[in-house]
């Protein structure tokens, strides 16, 4: 007698044909992949939460099956801007799982010295810091982008990430 707690996935005729075609093409199933994220232009992400992945023998081509969803980073940033709170902008753009970073007192002193000697050209240092965290761009590029976009954080982030 079968255990009623286990889920049995029904395979349709179309899925069977697709799997057979994958085998004929030499594509092998890849195990241990739990999420696939494809980044498109303008900050749109296509996310497949529980994918079924096949790879070519050369390893350069992948076929991904599964239910997908779209995640638009730009729209999350845009929603946070009217509030005018920099913390909301950072929270909207950051991934949901925080990354732990260990900093020493020496690194904080070095950063403080670097902040003091940099010419911000009238741009708020906090704005520069927020955009730098989001885009991983240099201070010079961030200041230039902020000046080009009249200190609009979202536009500066979009400019730096779509280049």
Q: What is the 3-state secondary structure (H, E, C) of the chain?
A: CCCCCCCCCCCCHHHHHHHHHHHHCCCEEECCCCCEEEECHHHEEEEECCCEEEECCCCCCEEEECCEEEEEHHHHHHHHHHHCCHHHHHHHHCCCCCCCCCCCHHHHHHHHHHHHHCCCCCCCHHHHHHHHHHHCCCHHHHHHHHHHCCCCHHHHHHHHHCC
Closest CA to 30 of 76, 5, 61, 2: 61
Here the tokens at position 30 are: 């890849």
Residue 9: pLDDT over 80:
no
Residue 129: pLDDT over 60:
yes
Arithmetic mean of pLDDT, 73-97: 60
Of 105 and 67, the one with more pLDDT: 67
Arithmetic mean of pLDDT, 66-79: 73
Tell me the C-alpha to C-alpha distance, in Å, between residue 89 and each of 76, 94, 135.
8, 9, 13
Position 82 scores a pLDDT of 58
Closest CA to 48 of 71, 29, 32: 71
Here the tokens at position 114 are: 């670097």
Q: Where residue 84 falls among pLDDT bands split at 50, 70, 90?
A: low
Of 76 and 128, the one with more pLDDT: 128
Position 58 scores a pLDDT of 81
Q: Is the pTM of this model over 0.85?
A: no
Mean pLDDT (the chain, rounded): 74
């Amino acid at each position: 007698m079968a255990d009623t707690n286990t889920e049995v996935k029904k395979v349709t005729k179309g899925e069977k044909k697709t799997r057979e075609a994958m085998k004929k093409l030499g594509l092998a199933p890849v195990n241990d992949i739990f999420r696939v994220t494809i980044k498109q232009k303008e900050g749109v992400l296509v996310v497949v939460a529980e994918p079924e992945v096949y790879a070519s023998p050369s390893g350069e081509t992948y076929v991904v099956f599964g239910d997908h969803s779209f995640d638009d980073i730009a729209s999350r940033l845009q929603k946070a801007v009217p509030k005018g709170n920099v913390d909301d902008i950072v929270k909207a753009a950051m991934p949901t799982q925080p990354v732990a970073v260990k900093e020493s007192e020496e690194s904080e002193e070095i950063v403080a010295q670097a902040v003091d000697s940099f010419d911000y050209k009238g741009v708020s240092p906090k704005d520069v810091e927020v955009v730098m965290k989001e885009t991983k761009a240099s201070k010079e590029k961030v200041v230039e982008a902020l000046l080009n976009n009249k200190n609009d954080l979202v536009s500066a982030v979009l400019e730096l990430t779509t280049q």
